[in-house]
Structure formats: C-alpha cells, structure tokens
Amino acid sequence: VKKGLKFPEVTAGRIMATDIVSVSASWTIGKTLKYLRQKKEILPENIYEVYILDSKRRPIGTLNLNTIVRSTSATVVKNIMNTQFKTIPIDTDQEEIALGFKQSNLIAAPVVDKLGKIVGQITSEDVIDIIEEETEEDLLRLSGVQSDDTYSAVLKTIQSRFGWLLINLFTAIAASFVIGIFESSLRQLVALAILMPIVASMGGNAGTQTLTVAVRALALREVTRANALRVIGKEFAVGTINGIIFAVIIGSVAAYWFQMPLLGIIIGAAMIINLMVACLSGILIPLILDKTGIDPAIASTVVLTTITDIFGFFVFLGLGSIYLL
C-alpha cells in the first residue's frame, strides 16, 4: 500500500537541460550571430533564447531568437535584451513550473541555484510533458492506479492496483458492519435491504462529481483561501437542490413499488441528507488533504466513498428503523 501511495515530487533540477547558450551584454547582434554560426556544432540544436550573465554567472537578461533576427548587426545586446524575465529556482516543483509558463506565456526560462547562478533552462517543450503528466496523474490517482500501467506486466499491475482495492475492501466491510447494526430491521422489512444501495450509490456519484472538479481546481489554483467559502457554499447548494429533486423521484418510485407512502418519505429524506453530505465532502476532503500537504488526488476518492456509503446506509436504515417498525 505504501508503495502505491508514494509519489516523489519532480523539481526543476530534474527537468532542465544544462546546455544553455550565453552571450556578453557588450556584444553586438552581428557578433552574436557570428558566434552562433561558428559554434553551431557544439551548441544545443534548438535554441529559443540566449542568456546574458554577470561575472558570477547570474542571468541579467535574456534575448529571444525573434529579437535577434529582427535587430540590425550594429545593435548592442544590452540595449535590446529583456531584463523583465522570470527565473526558476532549481527546487521548484514541476506543477509550479507548468503554472508559471501558462500564466506568463513563456517559451523558455533560466533555472538558477540558491546563489542565483544559472544552472540550466526549461523550455515549453518540457512543459508539454509536465502538463500531460500532471493531469494524467490526477486522473489515475483518483481511480487508484499508478502511471505507465498499460505496458506493465500482469504481476506488476496486480501489485499496483492491489493496495487500493484492499483499502476499499476494508471500507466496504466497515459499511457492512453499519448495515449489520440494523439486522433485525432488515429482517422485519426487506424493502430496506432492497432500496439501501440506491441511497449509497447516488451519494457516491454526486460526491465524485464534486471531488473531480475540486481536485483539478486545486491543481490549477482555481480554488484559493479567498474563494474557498464561496465554493463550499455553492457545493452545499448544488447538493441540497439535486438532493430534493432526486428525493421526489426516488420517493415516488419507492412508495409506489412497495405501496408504502412513509417508505417513500424516508428514502427521500435519506437521499437529501446523503447528497448534501456527499457534495460537502467532495469539496471539503480535497481542501483538508491539500492543507495537510497530502496530494488530494491520491486519497480523496476512498475517503469520500467511505463517508457516502456509511452515511447513506446509516441514515436510511436508521430513519427506517425509527419510523417504519
């Protein structure tokens, strides 16, 4: 299980290319072009930007190839170089890097060590891979699988999925214990046993919808401390209103099916409560996990379905035991 839940963070230092091109601030564009021509065999194949460094190899400016080809030969580098550039500290997490590139529409950016010295660069090509990997990871983690699963061998796949299923088995058994509390009610009114999976299943699905949106919104920094309360309020409203609509539908079906109007009211009430709990859990679980430093994509689903299952069974069977027997 431990292995399945461990995902090391990838930082700028691991992604960056170390072969960068630097020119002097005092050079002209003519001299820069001559340099690029003469050194073409040893320079990296794809250059987007060249960097201008101070005596301690700290970047003081960047020069895009687009600027180079549009400037006259006599232009001096320091007069046209871009000094409003972003640097990436070497220990920056890849998720932060991808966000920075998207927000600032960057093509390339220098990576610097703790002293501000240039140690490499990251380009938009690297960011394509990062973005795909991050979104992919969220998708797979929410379903309890690890990456690269398609090409893994059978035994490795079994191992990678086993931990998640084992956790789910424990939570399913816990839910069954809750059902077991109401053993005598179930024996007296078998309609409760027939209908109970509906309440739990609708809670699980409604909660998963909220959860998926919340996990991605957190990854994209769309949910912040400033708007968290508003988002929570919105999910509560969505859960309540959807709960009322589905309560009317399932209440009517149940009342007609078993010819017991009160049973319809009970399952309707349980549906409203469980959908409210589900939508609130769907937003609160990832928020809390994120705050405690756990990746919400890893653990959210299992916590959510445990809550919606146990709560769904407990509320429905509890209300049924009180009012129907």
User: Which residues, 138 to 157, sit near a second copy by CB under 8 A?
Assistant: 138-140, 142-145, 149-151, 154, 157
d(CA 207, CA 164): 19
Q: Which is nearer to a second copy, 34 or 91 (CB)?
A: 34
Q: Report how far apart the first and last C-alpha atoms of the chain are (Å, whole number).
A: 43
User: What is the per-residue binding string for a second copy in 216-255, x denoting contact by CB under 8 A?
Assistant: xx----xx-------x--x--xx--xx--xx--xx--x--
Q: Which is nearer to a second copy, 169 or 262 (CB)?
A: 169
With H, G, I as helix, E, B as strand and everything else as coil, classify residue 52.
Answer: strand
Q: Centre a 10 Å sphere on the Cβ of residue 237 and count the other Cβ atoms it contains.
A: 12
d(CA 306, CA 15): 38
Min CB(113)–a second copy separation in Å: 27
Does residue number 290 form part of the binding site for a second copy (CB under 8 A)? no
Please, which of residues 11-40 interact with a second copy by CB under 8 A? 33, 36-37, 40
d(CA 240, CA 234): 10
Does residue number 201 form part of the binding site for a second copy (CB under 8 A)? yes
User: Residues touching a second copy: how many (CB under 8 A)?
Assistant: 92
Please, which of residues 54-73 interact with a second copy by CB under 8 A? 64-66, 68-72
Residue choice 1, 60, 169, 262 for contact with a second copy (CB under 8 A): 169
Question: Per-residue b/e over 43-75, b at no fewer than 16 CB within 10 Å?
Answer: beeebbbbbbbeeeebbebbbbeebbeebeeeb
Question: Per-residue b/e over 180-191, b at no fewer than 16 CB within 10 Å?
Answer: eebeebbeebeb
User: Which among 11-19, 86-94, 164-172, 285-293 is the span making contact with a second copy, rule CB under 8 A?
Assistant: 164-172
State residue 148 phi and psi, 5-degree precision: 60, 25
Burial of 108 (0-12, 13-18, 19+ CB in 10 A): buried
User: Which among 2-10, 42-50, 82-90, 112-120 is the span making contact with a second copy, rule CB under 8 A?
Assistant: 42-50
Sheet holding 22-23, edge to edge: 22-23, 49-53, 59-64
User: What is the per-residue binding string for a second copy in 90-129, x denoting contact by CB under 8 A?
Assistant: -----------xx--x-x----------------xx-xx-
* Whole-Å CA distances, 177 to 170, 173, 277, 309: 11, 6, 20, 11
Min CB(277)–a second copy separation in Å: 15
User: Which among 3-11, 54-62, 87-95, 203-211 is the span making contact with a second copy, rule CB under 8 A?
Assistant: 203-211
User: Which among 54-62, 88-96, 109-117, 184-192 is the span making contact with a second copy, rule CB under 8 A?
Assistant: 184-192
State residue 106 phi and psi, 5-degree precision: -80, 155
Q: Which is nearer to a second copy, 231 or 289 (CB)?
A: 231
Q: Which is nearer to a second copy, 54 or 183 (CB)?
A: 183
Residue choice 51, 164, 311, 314 for contact with a second copy (CB under 8 A): 164
Does residue number 198 form part of the binding site for a second copy (CB under 8 A)? yes
Chain-centroid distance of CA 26 in Å reads 46
